[in-house]
Amino acid sequence: MTTGSKAKDAAKILIIEDDDLQYEIYEDALSRYQLTRVMKGTEAISLIPGIIPDAVILDHVLADGELGLEFLPELKELQPFAPIIIVSGALEVHQQFQALQGPRRAHYCLPKPVDVHELRRTVETALKECGAAEVIRQFEALERSKRIDAHELLSRSTDRLSRQNKIRDIIAKSEGRPNISALAREFNVARRTIIRDLQELIRRGQVSPAKYPEWENADTEE
């Protein structure tokens, strides 16, 4: 294991790479970060409980015949909030797609020889937009969705109660039975909606069952 010395507040990047020349490129391109290097996936798995990387750079063909993609699920299991960037020249197109799909996916896949400028941009984006930041955005989006759903549900409930009160007033002023079709046209809703409204009004005791004797057996499906 190799560890670079940088400021304590610098982001920590775990690099799983067995090629010394390739790691020198990382050292130069990512000098602003705290870099920790291992040469095998098994070393990374044993190391992770003791460190918390902010991002992981993963090669595919590693020392002792290990393959980086085979460690991707376990890396995501151990560090679900750390974005993973695969950098490899040995992956077929279908392998790249596979690595970028599913719940235990990598976030990026860069080819070798790696473009230093693209590498820097990718790491910066991963640290800023992925990992924990991505999870926070998802939770915020979920909360917004729940608030919208709750608002919509409240709005629908208010509309329904208002319509039912008007239907009750119409029935109270009428001597005959309610005209389902006429009420549906007046309130611009389906007949089954009016039938449900009548059923609820009768259950609540706001309309006499005599006004709509078939209320218990009325079919609300159309």
pLDDT tens digit sequence for 40-96: 999 999 988 788 899 999 998 898 989 888 898 889 888 888 899 988 877 777 677
The token pair at 67 is 């393959």
Cβ distance 111 to 86 under 8 Å? no
Q: Quick check: is 141 in a domain?
A: no
State how far the Cα of 40 lies from the Cα of 104, in Å rounded to an integer: 19
Q: What is the CATH number of the domain that holds 104?
A: 3.40.50.2300
- pLDDT over threshold 90, residue 106: no
Domain that holds residue 177: 149-216
pLDDT tens digit sequence for 7-55: 567 899 999 999 999 999 999 999 999 999 999 999 999 988 788 899 9
The token pair at 62 is 């590693």
pLDDT tens digit sequence for 154-212: 677 788 888 898 998 898 888 888 999 999 999 999 999 999 888 888 887 888 888 88
Q: What is the CATH number of the domain that holds 202?
A: 1.10.10
The confidence score (pLDDT) of residue 90 equals 73
